[in-house]
């Protein structure tokens, strides 16, 4: 796969990036080099290689998936000027 100047200009327009003619020509070469490196990755045999989340083996930290109220209701309403049974009391706004 290769990129030409018209593709670079189109991508720049879609990304709302101003690109001059000189920059477009330079970026064409740079993008083609990058795409060449990506194509080289297709040559690597990865059969039997498991996906990794880290370069060092590690177990995922997991917690029990339980529902609770967090025991923070009193802390949440602590700075409110008026509360009632851990609820905010606000003035009536609808008649």
Does 24 reside within a domain? Answer: yes
How many residues belong to the chain? 95
Number of domains making up the chain: 1
Structure tokens at 16: 């709302």
Does 33 reside within a domain? Answer: yes
Give 25-53 pLDDT, tens digit per residue.
Answer: 999 999 999 999 999 998 999 898 888 87
Instruction: Please give the model's pTM, rounded to 2 decimal places.
Output: 0.49
| Rounded Cα–Cα distance for residues 35 and 39 (Å) | 6
Confidence check: pLDDT of 89 > 80: yes
Does 27 reside within a domain? Answer: yes
Determine the structural domain holding residue 15 and report its residue range: 5-41
Res 64: pLDDT: 87
Res 63: pLDDT: 85
């Amino acid at each position: 796969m290769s990129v030409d100047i018209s593709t670079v200009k189109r991508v720049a327009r879609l990304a709302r990036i101003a690109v001059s003619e000189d920059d477009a020509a330079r970026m064409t070469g740079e993008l083609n080099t990058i795409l060449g490196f990506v194509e080289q990755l297709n040559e690597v045999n990865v059969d039997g290689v498991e996906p990794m989340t880290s370069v060092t083996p590690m177990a995922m930290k997991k917690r029990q998936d339980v529902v609770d109220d967090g025991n923070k209701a009193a802390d949440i309403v602590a700075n409110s000027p008026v509360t009632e049974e851990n609820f905010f009391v606000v003035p009536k706004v609808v008649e």
